[in-house]
Chains A and B, each alone.
Chain A
């Protein structure tokens, strides 16, 4: 379990993380979602004791990271796949990490096997493709067989095959009962990977909920209604407190109501309906709307 309490980080005048509190539970993949510059990486660095919080604290199973004994046995992290010496072999990279936390060399072989890098273990990490580097980073995270795992934008820049592999891998880790926190700036990616979401914008918590709840609330429920008797239906819907706007082709766009509710109202009042269709806004669009005033770098989104 990861528990952040009032976590705050300032770099000079930039407030990277602003009074952030959340809890990450074991047994499911938790997505850490926010546009670029929202403070995801900074939060992860603070979770791992690399950056010192300006205020607040973050605990892993009740302890700050810096107080963990042999931390790799409790927490595994992949913050950046390029954090390796390019002229050091993948195996040597894992060997020194294993040694530092008293893990046997057999763990090195086991994790190399788990991520499918056994064949290239003797090659220098500098020659690895992004996908291979990502796998090496995951191997390093898995070395101590930790209960808690953190991945910062692990699928960034990967091809679809690599993305699928990592997604499945993380879900399997969570299914084994581990705590898995994965950051991303893409809601569409998180929708496929995570069961729970912590959404932040400009360093502030926007919401923590299940992915389904978040998607429902983010896309809203807009229903498109076409009818020859809109002049009659429109005022009825407004009376019920729904928001009614003129849609395309003389249709009505109704928000706040389900299609069931609108159908019932139409039936009760003898209104003929030609179309009644719930609209799902694009996930990304909805997400951007939600974090709208929280977006730091519009230009970087989708990078």
Chain B
């Protein structure tokens, strides 16, 4: 518990998490506002989450990675390891705090997007009733939290901001989609890619074609996809923790 408080103090005593959070909210909710304002017809619930699931998530991943890489950049990681020589508990605490913040941000952006769409397009039916609709909106926070753990792991492994951010953004925004282009094998591989599974978890099936993932033959249920996404994130974190513990700080 103490270490969670330590990581909270560390994070909130610098400016970058505030900037990243503000940017994520503005981009996520803002994109929904633009979409809602531009549509002549009613806005569907699926449309409201394009900003959260495809744009703001990138900012959250960057924020999570930066939370670690700045420690390496300014060598405060060494002060951290002097204070907590076991290393693992300090890094797990950091991953936890960053994941919590990402999760809260996800909920703010997801529900904020629904709210702004309703304000801009009052006639749209944006009620959240079914389990699928709840998963689609409230699930964003879960995806952000797990994605943040992954980003922290990448940050620990790569140790520098530019590298970690490049890896995360290229992978999340471009690479997973491009793999689908590979004839035949592409969509089979995609069924097992982490962020593609995260998207699968969020989809409402046929009700949200705009969420992508169409045509991929997923072998997992939607919650199964989330568990798989989380499993990969935890595996990456474990590898990162082992590496961090063994190498010279």
Residues of A with Cβ closer than 8 Å to B?
45, 48-52, 65-66, 68, 71-72, 77, 79-80, 82-89, 92-93, 95-97, 99-102, 140
Contacts and interface: CB of A to CB of B under 8 A. Distances in A.
Given A83-B76, A84-B76, A87-B15, A96 B82 contact: no
B94 to A, nearest CB: 11
Contacts of B85: 49, 65-66, 68, 71
Contacts of A68: 85
B79 interface: yes
24 contacts: A48-B82, A49-B81, A49-B82, A49-B85, A50-B78, A50-B82, A52-B248, A71-B82, A72-B83, A79-B78, A82-B74, A82-B75, A83-B75, A84-B74, A85-B13, A87-B15, A88-B10, A92-B9, A92-B13, A95-B9, A96-B13, A97-B79, A100-B80, A100-B84
A204 to B, nearest CB: 21
Nearest to A75: B82
A58 to B, nearest CB: 13
A92 to B, nearest CB: 4
B22 interface: no
Interface residues of B, number: 27
B14 A140 contact: no
Nearest to B70: A85
Given A85-B14, A85-B70, A77 B82 contact: yes
A66 B3 CA distance: 17
Contact of A97 (B2, B5, B83, B86): B83
Given A80-B75, A84-B74, A87-B14, 5 more contacts: A52-B248, A72-B82, A82-B74, A96-B10, A97-B79
Contact of A45 (B2, B76, B248): B248
Nearest to B71: A85
B67 to A, nearest CB: 11
A92 B5 CA distance: 12
Contact of B81 (A50, A82, A102): A50
The B interface is mostly helix, strand or loop, or mixed, namely: helix
A72 to B, nearest CB: 6
Interface in B129-148: none
B6 interface: yes
B244 to A, nearest CB: 12
A64 to B, nearest CB: 9
